[in-house]
Amino acid sequence: NAGVTQTPKFQVLKTGQSMTLQCAQDMNHEYMSWYRQDPGMGLRLIHYSVGAGITDQGEVPNGYNVSRSTTEDFPLRLLSAAPSQTSVYFCATISPGKTNSPLHFGNGTRLTVT
Amino acid sequence: DQQVKQNSPSLSVQEGRISILNCDYTNSMFDYFLWYKKYPAEGPTFLISISSIKDKNEDGRFTVFLNKSAKHLSLHIVPSQPGDSAVYFCAANNPGRRALTFGSGTRLQVQP
C-alpha cells in the first residue's frame, strides 16, 4: 500500500516547455487535489476532483490543466511553463465516508522553471 | 488576502518546554480547523483537528485551542521533543468549497 505517489521528485524546465506531473493513489479515494507550496504563502489549491470525470478549479488554476479519467490517477499538466510556476507541488487525497477527513499528501515534486 | 495567517515564521524552544504555535483567520464560515506537520522533502502529515463547535481538542502531547470570538487558534505541544522540529501549517475548511485554506507555516525548532 503505497498511499499517494508523485513522480518525478525533481524537474527542471525551460520557459515555454510543457510537462505532466503524475499523481497516483492506491487507497480508492474519490477526492484528489493539487496544491503548490511557495515560501511565505503556505499551500494553495490549484485544482481538485471529487471523482472520475469531475474536476474543478481551486485558488490558483491559471496555467494548469487536469483530467481525471480513473479513480487512481490525477495528472497535472503545465502547457507552457513560466518561471512563476517554480514551486513544490503536492498531490493530496481524502478518504471517503467521513466528514472532515484530513488530506493525505504525497511527498511532492520540486519544479524549477528557468 | 490571506484568510488564514500564521504571523510567526519561526519559533525556537528548549526540549521539555511548551511550544505554542498560533494561527488567526478572518472567514467566519470556516467550520473545521486542522494542523499539519511537515518535515523537509516530505509531504505534510495530519496532526490534530478541531471542529468550530468545540474550543479544545487534545491528543497526547498535542492540544489545539479555538477561540471563535477572536478567530484565533493555537497548537500547544508539551513537552516539546527534538523530533517535533518541523514546519507546522494551520488549515481551515470552508464547507462550501471542499477545499482547505492554509496558513504560511511556522518553523519550530526544539533545542536538545
Q: Which tens digit of pLDDT belongs to each residue from A46-88?
A: 999 999 999 999 999 999 999 999 999 999 999 999 999 999 9
Q: Do A107 and B4 touch (CB under 8 A)?
A: no
State mean pLDDT over B1-16: 93
Asked if pLDDT for residue A26 goes beyond 70, the answer is: yes
Q: Do B49 and A108 touch (CB under 8 A)?
A: no
Q: Do A43 and B41 touch (CB under 8 A)?
A: no
Q: Is A100 exposed, middle or buried (0-12, 13-18, 19+ CB in 10 A)?
A: middle
Starting at the edge strand found earlier in the chain, the sheet holding B56-59 runs B4-5, B19-25, B72-77, B62-67, B56-59
Rounded-to-integer distance, Cα A73 and Cα A55, Å:
12
Q: How far is CA B43 from CA A108, B75, B76, in A?
A: 6, 20, 22
- Sequential DSSP letters for chain A: ---EEEE-SEEEE-TT--EEEEEEESS--SEEEEEEEETTTEEEEEEEEEETTEEEE-SS-TTEEE--SSSSB--EEESS--GGG-EEEEEEEE-TTSTTPPEEE---EEEEE-
Three-state SS for B4?
strand
pLDDT of residue B104: 94
Which DSSP symbol is given to B110? Answer: E
What rounded mean pLDDT belongs to chain B?
94
Rounded-to-integer distance, Cα B26 and Cα A1, Å:
39
pLDDT of residue B12: 98
User: Following CA atoms B37, B40, B41, B47 in sequence, which dihedral angle do they give, to the nearest 10 degrees?
Assistant: -10
**Considering CB atoms only, which of B6, B42, B49 is closest to A107?**
B42
With CA atoms as reference, report the closest residue to B19 among B3, B35, B2, B39. B35
pLDDT of residue A101: 77
pLDDT of residue A99: 64
Confidence band (pLDDT; 50, 70, 90) for A39? confident
Q: Which tens digit of pLDDT belongs to each residue from A5-19?
A: 999 999 999 999 999
For residues A101 and A94, the answer to whether their CB atoms sit within 8 Å is yes
Q: Is the CB of residue A34 less than 8 Å away from at least one CB of chain B?
A: no
**Considering CB atoms only, which of A31, A44, A90 is closest to B43?**
A90
Q: Which tens digit of pLDDT belongs to each residue from B78-108?
A: 999 999 999 999 999 887 767 789 999 999 9
Contact list in A for residue B46 (CB cut-off 8 A) is: 102-104
Q: Which tens digit of pLDDT belongs to each residue from B25-76?
A: 999 999 999 999 999 989 999 999 999 999 999 999 999 999 999 999 999 9
Rounded-to-integer distance, Cα B71 and Cα B52, Å:
10
